[in-house]
Amino acid sequence: MNREQVRQDFLEMIKPHVRIPDLSTISDESLLTDDLKVNSARFVDIILEAEDRFKISISDEEMERFERVGDAVDFICKKKIAA
């Protein structure tokens, strides 16, 4: 799975949680909570879904790394390579 595929899958996954009108503005620099208005209370659900979808496991500490879209995508890619 290449990075672009992971990125598309990740964006598809977080789409129901994103509360901005124009999804085409999302970039790797977009902050999940501040820019995309993802409810921070729902973060745990995004993590669980990422674990299921990408068949990886994410610890509570690693969860902290999901700040920007790019960070999350890079993290998932690294985890998949290691798996």
Residues that bind another protein (CB under 8 A): 16-17, 19, 41-45, 48
**Shortest distance (Å) from residue 77 CB to another protein:** 23
Distance of alpha carbon 13 from alpha carbon 49, whole angstroms: 8
Burial of 6 (0-12, 13-18, 19+ CB in 10 A): buried
**Shortest distance (Å) from residue 10 CB to another protein:** 16
CB nearer to another protein: pick between 51 and 74:
51
CB nearer to another protein: pick between 1 and 23:
23
Alpha helices in 17-68 (DSSP H): 43-54, 60-63
**Shortest distance (Å) from residue 26 CB to another protein:** 17
